[in-house]
Structure 1
Amino acid sequence: MREFTIGKNDAGQRLDRFVAKNLPLLPPALLQKYIRLKRIKVNGKGSKRDVRLETGDILQLYINDEFFDKPNEENLFLTVFKPQLNIVYEDENLLLVDKRPGMSVHADETEKVNTLINHIQAYLYQKREWNPKWENAFAPALCNRIDRNTGGIVIAAKNAETLRIINEKIRAHELEKSYLCITVGRPKQPEGKIEGFLLKNEAKKEVRFFHKPVPGGKTAVTLYRTLESRGGLSLVECRLLTGRTHQIRVSMAEIGCPLLGDGKYGKGDVNRRYHETRQALYSYKLRFDFPTDAGLLNYLKGQEFTVENVPFREKYFPEIPS
């Protein structure tokens, strides 16, 4: 329990607004709930949220200590009152979460709170599986990233050993990730391999494709398979043999079939015609191959997980089976 004594400079403020200003990590919905439950008292009694505070009033807050901390990158998860997660799979070591398009995986210059990692940490905190007060260093962490406007499976590690193993397996290409996308046009070859070199321009945040090695360029190999074509659009499955920034988007554009909705590498007139503002790309399938030992995660060997509801597939190719 913490107490505040209202001074003359704070007098006249509403109770809920005073608490919100002094406890910025306390989610607004949780603040209102605590007032209703009388866990926030004025002069020893429960009070309404819109009561005006007076000089000398004593506020008693029966609230977890974490909410009294100062906001920083490590505790922003506390501001998420009701985590919004579509969990594909969960066990004691990891979570597989279907990230919705539009959500950032980590904090960036445009979003600090409503990120996937904050939702995951809030979820585990509220389940009493993790508390930053218990740990010296480790916090639940993401093992892979997906662009803000791309949806699909993201792996979150609940402990340091899982994070280490999954990172090793990703580097060793022992996890198979498959993507669905909708392309503008039909690939000339129904299926094939796109090989080249990708060079990232950090200033422009875009990537260029080269057929020959270039200074700073990284090898990129993408396998693709056309599942269906109709009305100038194609449903294509892609599998990454390398994991480069914007790899599928740039590679499909290079063969003349950019992704529908892609504002950076796509066709603006087609995107506007279909009213699509996000690239139609989804990391919909994950398989744990594990040809080598995976330690405490050996039980995942050979398991495959699939997102059943890929929004753009339902919209443009609803009869194509998952």
Structure 2
Amino acid sequence: MFEIRMTENESGQRVDRFLRKYLKEYTLGDIYKLFRKNKIKLNGKRVKENQMLSEGDLLQLYVEKPEAEAGQDLPVPKPGKSLDVIFEDENIIIVNKPAGLLTHPDKPVDSDTLIDRALYHIYKKKGTVQSETFSPAVCNRLDRNTGGIVMVAKNYKTLKAVNSTIRERGVQKLYLCIVAGKMEKSGEIKAFIKKDEESNTSSIQDTYKGDGKEIHTIFRTLGVSDTIMELGMRFSLLEVELVTGRSHQIRAHLASLGHPLAGDLKYGERDINECFRKQYGLKHQFLYAYKVAFREVHQDIGYLKGKNFVSRLPENFAKIAGRLFGMEGI
């Protein structure tokens, strides 16, 4: 028999879900068998699978202690490039992800990702990167070629609170993008989106057809360019708010309306992309997650209510915006 004292990182988790992470060598069936045989107790009493854990609880396991415990620290993260930190405290890191960097590894060989950099950043400060069953985790994911603000929770309590706040739409997420054509001053657009996992592309449906997810996008036009003679068209600089947060929502939604993003190799137009590549050196979509604003938040992150975090456009994006729209210092 051995015991595990619960910390704030385990608080709020179901007992069975905690054990699935802790007893890695056990199958789910093995774990439920332990419950049936009364080999798991919480604070000395019999416990049900779905009971919630609290900080300070003592979980007793009447089994042999695993050789490789989930409670062991992760291996020391590989040194990598530094993080561009916008805000950091004991609960969360808000960083600027550069375009071209994966948020999470897609393959085992992906050794330089945002989460890898975050883990090493935390390790340098604390000497460790996880507790019993938690490793710092990303709260909002950006596509590889989309740069901007990403939030990384340092503990389970914060991860749960931020994710809950995002689901309840208490975090306003704002992007800047350049699209083809002259847009109205502002607007709200709604539709349905369907993701094809095999091709990693999304299609837009005007009406619900049984397999799409609702999307809601709000935009405000910040500027309209003069006509680019080579293309015979004007371009608009938009501030876009994601009310819903579906994969490829901004890119696919605006492209479906005839306003593809400049530089978008997946949903854009070849002649536009080629023109922006030659004239401005743009190699991927002009889309940047530049601001997050905490509105109505979960009580566990109440101190973040009313706070706004802003990241300036990267240098090449700022130059393009300056040349096309006469805007400096965005």
- Per the normalisation by structure 2, the TM-score is 0.70
SS of equivalent to 1:225? strand
Match of 2:52?
none
Query: CA 1:299–1:256 in structure 2 vs 1: closer, same or farther (change >3 Å)?
Result: same
State the Cα distance separating 1:317 from its structure 2 match: 1.9
1:250 maps to what in 2?
Answer: 252
Rounded to whole Å, the distance in 1 between the matches of 2:108 and 2:268 is: 23
> 1:173-207, CA deviations, whole angstroms, 9 ceiling, x for partnerless residues?
000000000112222x2211111000111111100
1:151 and 2:117 are equivalent in the alignment: no
Q: CA deviation at 1:270?
A: 1.2
Structure 1 residue 315: Cα displacement: 1.7
Partner of 1:207: 202
Residue aligned with 1:102, SS:
coil
Instruction: Give RMSD over aligned pairs.
Output: 1.9
Q: Which amino acid aligns with 1:288?
A: F
Partner of 1:306: 310
SS of the residue corresponding to residue 78 of structure 1 reads coil
1:90 and 2:88 are equivalent in the alignment: yes
Report how far residue 91 of structure 1 moved: 0.9
Deviation (angstroms), 1:229 = 1.3
SS of the equivalent of 1:127 reads: helix
Change (3 A) 1:77 1:304: farther
- Ranges in structure 1 where 5+ consecutive residues have no aligned partner: 1-68
Distance in 2 (CA, whole Å) between partners of 1:197 and 1:77 is 43
* Structure showing greater Rg: 1
Distance in 2 between the 1:220 and 1:313 partners? 27
| Structure 2 CA distance for aligned equivalents of residues 289 and 209 of structure 1 | 29
CA displacement at 1:110 relative to structure 2:
7.9
Partner of 1:281: 287
> Where does residue 77 of structure 2 map in the other structure?
78
Q: Is the 8 A contact 2:129 2:136 kept in 1?
A: no
The answer as to whether partners of 2:103 and 2:142 remain within 8 angstroms in 1 is yes
2:171–2:294 contact (8 Å) kept in structure 1: yes
Over 3 Å counting, the alpha-carbon distance change for 1:128 and 1:278 in structure 2 is same
Q: 2:166 aligns with which of 159, 167, 170?
A: 170
Q: 2:9 aligns to what?
A: none
Query: What count of residue pairs does the alignment treat as equivalent?
Result: 244
Pairing partner for 2:241 from 233, 239, 242: 239
Distance between the aligned counterparts of 1:296 and 1:129, measured in 2? 25
Q: Decide whether aligned partners of structure 1 residues 97 and 126 sit closer, same or farther in structure 2, where only a CA change above 3 A counts.
A: same
1:259 aligns with 2:258: no
Give the Cα separation in 1 of the matches to 2:121 and 2:264.
32
Amino acid at match of 1:78: P
What code does the residue aligned with 2:287 have?
A: L
Contact 2:98/2:147 (8 A) holds in 1: yes
Residues 312 and 256 (structure 1 numbering): CA distance in 2 closer, same or farther, change over 3 Å?
farther
AA partner of residue 139 (structure 1): S
Q: Does 1:316 align with 2:316?
A: no
Give the drift of 1:277. 2.6
Q: 2-side partners of 1:76 and 1:285: how far apart?
A: 33
Partner residue, 2:191: 196
Distance 2:108 2:237 in 1: 31
Q: 1:259 to 1:76 in 2, by over 3 A?
A: farther
CA distance in 2, matches of 1:270, 1:76: 46
Unaligned 5+ segments in structure 2 are 1-67, 229-233
TM-score by length of 1: 0.72
For the 8 Å contact 2:261–2:285, the answer to whether it is kept is: yes
1:71-96: CA deviation from partner (whole Å, max 9, x where unpaired): xxx957622x2442111111111000
- Cα 1:154/1:111, change in 2 over 3 Å: farther
Change (3 A) 1:127 1:139: same
Structure 2 contact 74–129 (Cα < 8 Å) conserved: no
> 2:224 is matched by which residue type in structure 1?
S
Asked if the contact 2:80/2:112 (under 8 Å) is kept, the reply is no
User: CA offsets per residue over residues 14-69 of structure 1, 9 Å max, x none?
Assistant: xxxxxxxxxxxxxxxxxxxxxxxxxxxxxxxxxxxxxxxxxxxxxxxxxxxxxxx9
Q: Which residue of 1 aligns with 2:134?
A: 138
Which digits, 9 at most, give the CA deviation of each residue in 1:113-171, with x for residues without a partner?
10000100011001126334xx2111111111000000111010011110010010011
Q: Which amino acid aligns with 2:90?
A: E
2: CA distance between counterparts of 1:186 and 1:176? 25
- Tell me: higher relative CO, structure 1 or 2? Use CA pairs within 8 A at least 6 residues apart: 2
